[in-house]
Amino acid sequence: MNQLSEQSVLDALRQIQDPDLHKDIVTLGFIRDLRIEGGDVSFRIVLTTPACPVKEQMEDAAKEVVGALAGVTSVRVTMDADVPKGRGLGEKIAVEGVRNIVAVSSGKGGVGKSTVAVNLSVALALDGARVGLMDADVYGPNVPLMLGAGDARPEVEGNKLVPIEAYGVKLMSMALLQPGDKPMIVRGPILHGLVKQFLTDVLWGELDYLIVDMPPGTGDVQLSLAQLVPVQGAVLVTTPQEVAVMDVRRALRMFETVAVPVLGVVENMSYFIAPDTGTRYDIFGKGGGEKLAEQYGVPFLGAVPLGMEVREGGDKGVPVVVSQPESPQAAAFRRVAEEVARQVSIEAMKPELVVLGRAK
């Protein structure tokens, strides 16, 4: 007698655990649209991010455990994603349609923070996520240039600005509103208003992630963002040398003070591989970012090697994940994007996991 049923399929799928959320994919509600027609079984696995680094392994495991059931002749698995909405905090305003806000910050300038923000955003978009990039570095807004959108001008629709789109990413920057070399000379209260306008007066639409490229340091813009909206987490960018790591420590403490989770540390310009000899040079020192992450108990999101491809991509307005997708730098940025998406999902699912734990 054929004992194949929805329950037997779900029981088999309970063997598969999400490595980050530490529960099985049935309990987490990842299995959708389960259908059984004779011996043919089909279902969707809806993950918490399209950038899931274990997506293929999970698909293979699902096919294996269901395919091993008596009476199963075929298994069809569709991989999908539904990015959970981040937790709301206190009286902070929400940005309509935006599920998660992620700040990319650094303790000092010159560590490639904007380069990381741009390539992180484009990598997430390449993975299928809906991504916006808000250039909050008011004094040095370089993001439009790095995305090849320096000459673009946003339109106005219903008293709101329509963001520029580049490489699948929605972009807003002060450089789009005040082009040229005219300097921004503004004080704290005005900065607060600008940050609020970029959050509420821009038609961001439905976004899984709004990446915010912050100015370096721990000043007014960081505080304004933390006060105005529920920031899902901060990504801290450093280079290996001690002077950069020291400043990142201050940034890490600042985000802790304003109750913004630190998603992890990215070590940019980590090392250089000579193209002619293959010799590795640790130009800026070695391992500072990884040691910092370990010291403060936050994830190490990855190391990005130094390379001319990154600089050339930024200057030409074609991010390296697009211009040189097979390069070590592009591969590193893609891994960083997967790790950031993973940490955002962990943060977003924390309240749900508590509820599930109580219900159990």
One domain, residues 147 and 290? yes
Q: Are residues 76 and 118 in the same domain?
A: no
How much is the pLDDT for 358? Answer: 33
Q: What percent of the chain has pLDDT over 90?
A: 43
Give the range of the structural domain holding residue 293, as residue numbers without chain letter.
101-355
Same domain, 123 and 12: no
291 located within any domain = yes
- Residue 1 within a domain: no
In the prediction, which pLDDT does 128 show? Answer: 93
Asked if residue 302 and residue 168 are part of one domain, the reply reads yes
| Among 50, 81, 112, residue at a domain's last position | 81
- The burial of 20, by beta-carbon neighbours within 10 Å (0-12 exposed, 13-18 middle, 19 or more buried), is given as middle
The answer to whether residues 125 and 169 touch, using CB atoms and an 8 Å cutoff, is yes
Q: Which two tokens stand for residue 245?
A: 């790591």
- Amino acid 315: pLDDT: 85
Q: What CATH number does residue 60 fall under?
A: 3.30.300.130
pLDDT digit string (tens) for 24-39?
A: 999 999 999 999 999 9
Q: Number of H helices and number of E strands within the chain?
A: 12, 15
Q: Name the pairing type of β-strands 300-303 and 262-267.
A: parallel
Does residue 142 surpass a pLDDT of 90? no
64 and 141 assigned to the same domain: no
Give the confidence band of 356 by pLDDT, cuts at 50, 70, 90.
very low
Domain membership flag for residue 307:
yes
Q: What is the pLDDT of residue 360?
A: 30
**Using CA atoms, how far apart are residues 134 and 332, in angstroms rounded to an integer?**
22
DSSP 164-182: EEETTEEEEEHHHHS-SS-
Same domain, 51 and 122: no
d(CA 350, CA 329): 32
pLDDT above 50 for 5:
yes
pLDDT at 147: 94
What pLDDT, in 10s, does the model give residues 166-203? 999 999 988 887 765 555 555 555 666 777 888 888 99
Claim to verify: residue 149 and residue 284 sit in the same structural domain: yes
Higher-confidence position of 85 and 139: 85
pLDDT band for position 354 (cuts 50, 70, 90) = very low
Identify the bridge partners of residue 35 per DSSP, sorted by sequence position.
42
Domain identity same for 66 and 107: no
What is the distance between the alpha carbons of residues 283 and 239, in angstroms, rounded to a whole number? 10
Establish if 95 belongs to a structural domain: no
pLDDT of residue 88: 57
Domain shared by 194 and 70, yes or no: no
CA dihedral 277, 304, 51, 141 (to 10 degrees): -130
> What is the band of 274 on the pLDDT scale with cuts at 50, 70, 90?
confident
Distance between CA atoms of 28 and 82, rounded to whole angstroms? 12
154 in the same domain as 118:
yes
CATH of the domain at 142: 3.40.50.300
- pLDDT for the residue 195: 78
Our measurement of the distance from residue 358's CA atom to the centroid of its chain's CA atoms, rounded to an integer in Å, reads: 29
C-alpha 295/C-alpha 336 separation (Å) is: 20
Domains of the chain: total: 2
pLDDT of residue 273: 79
CA 30/CA 61 separation, integer angstroms: 14
One domain, residues 105 and 24: no
Q: Residue 131 pairs with which residues in a beta bridge?
A: 169, 209
Residue 12 sits in the same domain as residue 62: yes
